[in-house]
Structure formats: structure tokens, C-alpha cells
Amino acid sequence: MTTPELVCPAGTPGALRTAVDAGADAVYCGFQNATNARNFPGLNFTVEELAQGVAYAHARGAKVLLAANTFPPAGQTDLWKRAVDDGVRLGVDAIIAADIGVMSYISRAYPDQRLHLSVQAGASSPEAIRFYCREFGVKRVVLPRILTVAEIAAVHAAIPCEIEAFVFGNIGMMAEGRCSLTNYVTGVSTNTDGVCSPACHVHYEEDAARNLTMRLGEFTLDRFSGGEQAGYPTICKGRYRAAGHEEPYYAFEEPRSLNLSALLPELVRAGVTALKIEGRQRSRAYVQSVVAAFRAAVDACAAGAKPELAGLLALTEGHRETPGAFGGKRWR
Amino acid sequence: MNRPAQSPALSLGPILFHWPAERKRDFYFRIADEAPVDTVYLGEVICSKRMPFFAPFLDEVIERLQRSGIQVRLSTLAEITIQRDQREVELACDRRDVIVEANDASALNRLAGRPHAIGPYLNVYNEDTLAFLAGKGAIHVTLPSEIPADAIAILGASARSLGVGLEVQVYGRAPLALSARCYHARAHGRVKDTCQFVCENDADGLDLETLDAKSFLTVNGIQVLSHTCLNLAHALEAMVAQGVTDFRISPHSQDMVAVARTFRSVLDREIDPDEASRRLQVIGLPVPFSNGFYRHVEGYRWAN
């Protein structure tokens, strides 16, 4: 088996070093502003920190991928161009982008810069991927989490670039780059501000019976009785009422995490070059555990052995996991 | 429809919901006969499984609309998951009798190099993206629903200098999200492959309420829409000045001819936006209005 590249989250300089030390082949990170899709307080890199991060990773044989993967609002494209300029100057190994204007800038200003198509571009078909390859010289596509393994294999056969696929972590239910639910409720746009379900708009209320109500802005997303496991509240994992349902139900998805560790050999056979772990907002301890577990699993697969994966379940949201769309069409 | 060429145009977006084919045909025949719209977008944008039903009527409807002096554009699927989706996009893009509206990059790949339109499901957030797409043959762009007024102004100036038509949805539920999973099927304990077209039961989508019974979102197959009804009647004049050339009404099960007449009357300065809103409350979708995205606040809000 070809050994796939393990691409790991680096939300902070500390997490970058942790991921590299735990065996990441590449880390991905962003600057401290709206140019990346995890624009949370306390996360991400200054230019100076990224310079140090690149030096640390390169000295240990790991790559650094810069996520500049949100959509610049009209009149504000300079911030994204500056992120690209800084990334190129610091020698990042690839820039991950989604906006056509940003990619147009990268391919014109830095034709030699390696460019990855972000999952935020929502390119799920060979035709769509070929468009970005032809126009901007994209070298790798991060596939939306909507395809089965068999469909990934078919895509692989029909495109001229590498495939990176998410294998572990939190998954939103909506196609990335095409979701305005947070903006509808909070006035903050996931696509242009880089924030989904921002913590400053999340409210928790506990009543006397220890029932926990979770709200985003003015809307209740879920309620848990005392002791029940509650995940982080996002609209797409909330419980709602609808005609024909006597009880509220998870209209989009239940709060659980993606875990494809059991499908690793199949993914690699399908032509996946790089395995991506979600979680730039997670702690160093989490990054250490997940990256180390996947390093061991990938190496075991490469050696033809059966990987030991039980420990990963403890790290999933609410200790519940799903293979998502990757497992088969019944998910849809 | 004998207005000066520079007059702002009114368009009818694609029907987002799964209406019976005969109902759609009759709807469009009435639009052709009575609605003061300049453009009608046909085509299924949500689910390729719905497409075979209306396919036998498509050419007849195109012909009838065109005979009434209405420009017809064909919108492509917003999301490509399986090969059948891709085939449908290719079939649409290969048509030469109408301008095709691309709603994802796979359509763009086919259409680049000849005149085409860009739909609201393809992300055009800034002037650089707009200019790139114009260079590939885009003659008309409809913006995503969440773009606020200040960005529309910049894009309007850009579109003007590029000679590209710029369109904004001004009425109907706002598209908010797409997924690979069919939430309509899920609501009925089914999956997309076994859906039995349960989405046909909900002509304006399936309402979702919060646990506190507060109206929140609307499900339409793989799509999530707002519960509220977008109404930008008060912003028409400002948007015309900023370079928006076309205003889109998104079809619902109410009297869309009357809704179109109302917006036409505002554009023609026959009635003011307050009067238009009063009329729309009576004739339109019976839910609260919203204009929050345009005002750059929470999308569900309504503030004038």
C-alpha cells in the first residue's frame, strides 16, 4: 500500500509543534483573521509565529499548508492577498484556497506556488475539479464530505490532481462553503468571516432540574436532561420539531464525529493521497492523541497489518462516531 | 412590457420545490400570459431525481414563455453528487437555444468560453471573482442570498464596468444551505435513494420549529431555506442606483403573478415599498418578512 500523507490541524504554534512531533506529515494553519475558516478568538498565527512554525516543521521534514480558504467580501480582497503574499514569502508548502478571485491572484502572482483546492470550494465532481485544475493549476483537491468511497475512486480516475479526504473530527452536515445558517441566526458569515456557530452567540441555560438548554442567538438548538452528553451547539446538529414527528428529532444529523479510521485501506486504494484530521480549535492534548493514533494506524496499514483504533472513539464528539457519507449511500 | 431598455428588470427564479409537473406547466403558462417579468429561470436546481417528471413539458414551456417576449434561462443543479447529476448538467449546458445559468463549477467547466449566467449557488462574493468569471464568458450574475448592501454596491459598480448584468433575489424564502443528505427523506425515516418523493407534499418546503415551537428553518430536499420570506422592496431603488440590473422573485405556491405585479409597480414608482409590503403580506407567503442579510445583521431579521 502507498503510504498516504497525514495532514493535521495546527490551530496554534503549540499545536503545530505537537502535531509535528506526533508524526504529522503536514500541518495546516491560518492567520489570525477572517482569511481562514477557523477564525476563533485565541487561535491561529501571526506572521512571525508562522515563520517560526514553518522553520520548526521543515527542520523535521513536515510540510506547512496555509489555509486562506474563506471568501473575501467585496472591497476587502487586500487582506486575502496579503495572507497569500506572506505565506509565499515564508515558504509554505501549499496554499489552500476556495475563492475564485483568490485563486486567480495566486496563479497570476505566484505561478510556481503549489495550490490546494479547499473543501470550502465544494468541488465534488470531476468536471468541477477539472475546472479549478485547468484555470488555476490546482495540484490537490480537498473533497467535500459527501461522497462514498466508491465515488471517490471514480472521481480519482477522472481528475488530474491529488485527493485529500477528511478522516476524523467534527463534521458539519452542510456542504462547506455553501452554508449561511450561522449568518441567518447571528449576522456573522461562515463564508466571509470564517466562523461557524461563534461562541460569543452561544448561550447555555440550566434549569432547577438540571436540564441544559443550548441557544444560538435567539434560537434554541437543543436541550439535554441532567447528565446527558452535550456536544458543541451547531445549527446542523440541533433537535427540531416538524409535522409528522411527535417528538423533536435531529433533522439534519445527530451530534457525532466523523471517524474513518476503519476505512483507511479502502480510502488509499480509492486513490486518496492525503488524510486530513479536522480540529484546529482543539487542545494540544487532543491533537497529540489523534495524530499519534493515526500515525500508528497509517504505518500499520502500510505494513499490511491491522491498525489498532479503539482509542479514537474516546476522542469523538459525545463519544459517538459515524463514517458519514463515506460509508455508503444509505447515509444520504 | 414596452419599457425602456435601461429599466430595471424583474425575473422569476427557478421553482425550488417539487411541484407536480402539470402544476408547474400551468404555473408557467399563466406566468407567460399574465406576469410582468422579463426573465424566467427554468430547470431543477435541487434534485436530479425530480427531473424526469417535468422533462416532457420543458420545451413546450420554453416556447410559450419566449413567445410572450420573456427571456428564458436554464438553471443547473446546485450540487453534483452522483453521475446522473453530472449528466443532467451536461445536457443543460449543451443546449444552445437558451442561456444556461451555472450553479456549480462543473457547469462552469462546460460553459466557459461562451456566454452564460452565474447562479446564486456559485460563490461570487467579490469583484475579483466577478471579473474572472466575466473573462470566462459570464454575462449575468445572481448573487448569493447573504451578500450585504455595502458589498452589493461594490459588485454593482464592478458589474457595470464589466458590462455584466447583476441580479439579487428580492422575494421568497432565502436559500441557506445544501447537503448531500436529503432532509425531506430523513424527516420521513427514509434516505435519498428510497425517498418516494415525499418532498412533493410540501409546496413551500417542510417547516422546522425549535424545541420552543418557534418557526426557524425550511427543508426542501437537500436544501435548507429560511422560514422567513425575503422582501427587499424597500431596497430596490438603492440597488438600481448601485448597478443591480435584475431583481429575482423566487416562486412559492401563492399568486406569483400578483407578487410580480407588486414588485413591478415599485420599480415603476407606481406604489411605494410600504404599500408593496402591505400587499405582499396579503397575497404572498404567510410568514414574516426578512431583510437582515441585506442590512448586514442576522438574516432572519426585518428592519426598515
Residue in A closest to B102 by C-alpha: A128
pLDDT for residue B1: 43
Which of B79, B146, B179 is the closest to A180 by Cβ? B146
Residue B42 CB contacts under 8 Å (≥ 6 apart), including other chains: B14, B28, B58, B61, B62, B65, B72, B73, B74, B75
Which domain, by its residues, includes A206?
Answer: 181-250
C-alpha distance from B158 to closest chain A C-alpha (Å)? 10
Residues A125 and A265 in one domain: yes
Is A219's CB within 8 Å of B208's CB? no
Residues A50 and A109 in one domain: yes
Is B129's CB within 8 Å of A101's CB? yes
Residues A241 and A270 in one domain: no
Q: Which residues of A touch B158 (CB under 8 A)?
A: 74
Say what percent of chain B tops pLDDT 90: 96
Residue A276 CB contacts under 8 Å (≥ 6 apart), including other chains: A7, A28, A142, A164, A165, A166, A167
Rounded distance between C-alpha atoms, residue A140 and residue A275, angstroms: 12
C-alpha distance from A275 to closest chain B C-alpha (Å)? 21
Q: Which residues of B touch A144 (CB under 8 A)?
A: 180
Say what percent of chain A tops pLDDT 90: 74
Domain boundary among A250, A275, A294: A250
Q: Which of B229, B257, B283 is nearest to B28 (CA)?
A: B257
Answer whether A176 touches B (CB < 8 Å): no
Q: How confident is the model at residue B303 (pLDDT cuts 50, 70, 90)?
A: confident
User: Which grid cell is A330?
Assistant: 444509505
Instruction: Give me the number of domains chain A comprises.
Output: 2
Which of A75, A174, A189 is the closest to B146 by Cβ? A189
Q: Which residue has the higher pLDDT, A230 or B27?
A: B27
Rounded distance between C-alpha atoms, residue A185 and residue A68, angstroms: 25
Residues A150 and A20 in one domain: yes
Which CATH code for domain B9-174+228-295? 3.20.20.60
Here the CATH number for the domain that contains residue A158 is 3.20.20.70
Answer whether B105 touches A (CB < 8 Å): yes
What residues in chain A have per-residue pLDDT under 50? none
Residues A114 and A246 in one domain: no
In tens, the pLDDT along B66-86 reads 999 999 999 999 999 888 999
pTM for the model: 0.96
For residue A302, being part of any structural domain is answered with yes
With a threshold of 0.90, tell me whether the complex ipTM lies above it: yes
Tell me the mean pLDDT in the region B140-155.
98
Is A175's CB within 8 Å of B79's CB? yes
Give, as one character, the DSSP assignment of residue B18: -
| Stretch 191-210 of chain A: residues touching chain B, C-beta under 8 Å | 191-192
pLDDT for residue A322: 78
C-alpha distance from A307 to closest chain B C-alpha (Å)? 30
Residues A118 and A265 in one domain: yes
C-alpha distance from A311 to closest chain B C-alpha (Å)? 29
Average pLDDT, chain B: 96
Residue A286 CA, chain-centre distance (Å), reads 15
Whether the predicted pLDDT of B99 surpasses 50: yes
Q: Which amino acid is at A55?
A: A
For residue A290, being part of any structural domain is answered with yes
Whether the predicted pLDDT of B6 surpasses 70: no
Q: Which residue has the cell 445527530?
A: A254
C-alpha distance from A240 to closest chain B C-alpha (Å)? 5
Q: State the alpha helices, DSSP H only, in chain A.
A: 13-21, 47-59, 77-90, 100-109, 126-136, 149-157, 181-186, 190-193, 264-269, 284-302
C-alpha distance from A303 to closest chain B C-alpha (Å)? 33
In tens, the pLDDT along A57-111 reads 999 999 999 999 999 999 999 999 999 999 999 999 999 999 999 999 999 999 9
Q: State the alpha helices, DSSP H only, in B68-213.
A: 83-93, 105-111, 127-135, 149-162, 183-187
Q: Which of B240, B232, B41, B263 is nearest to B146 (CA)?
A: B232
Give, as one character, the DSSP assignment of residue A6: E
pLDDT for residue A332: 78
Answer whether A33 touches B (CB < 8 Å): no
Which of B151, B192, B193 is the closest to A74 by Cβ? B151
pLDDT for residue A180: 98
User: Which grid cell is A34?
Assistant: 477572517
Provide the phi-psi class of B98: left if phi over 0, else alpha when psi is between -120 and 50, else beta.
Answer: beta
Is A184's CB within 8 Å of B128's CB? no
Residues in chain B: 304
For residue A176, being part of any structural domain is answered with no
- The residues spanned by each domain of chain B are 9-174+228-295
- The SS3 assignment for A195 reads coil
Task: Give the count of beta carbons closer than 10 Å to the beta carbon of residue B163.
Answer: 8
Residue in A closest to B180 by C-alpha: A146
Which of B45, B47, B82 to probe by mutation at the A interface, max A CB count within 10 Å?
B82
| Stretch 249-308 of chain A: residues touching chain B, C-beta under 8 Å | 249, 251-253
* Distances in whole angstroms, Cα of residue A283 to Cα of each of A11, A159, A202, A315: 9, 36, 20, 11
Element (H, E) at B280: helix B273-283
Task: Give the count of beta carbons closer than 10 Å to the beta carbon of residue B37.
Answer: 26
Domain boundary among A190, A221, A250: A250
Residues A309 and A326 in one domain: yes
Say what percent of chain B tops pLDDT 70: 98
Rounded distance between C-alpha atoms, residue A115 and residue A96, angstroms: 6
Q: Which residues of B touch A191 (CB under 8 A)?
A: 123, 125, 146
Residue in B closest to A215 by C-alpha: B210
Tell me the mean pLDDT in the region B234-257.
98
Answer whether A211 touches B (CB < 8 Å): no
Residue in A closest to B155 by C-alpha: A74
Residues in chain A: 332
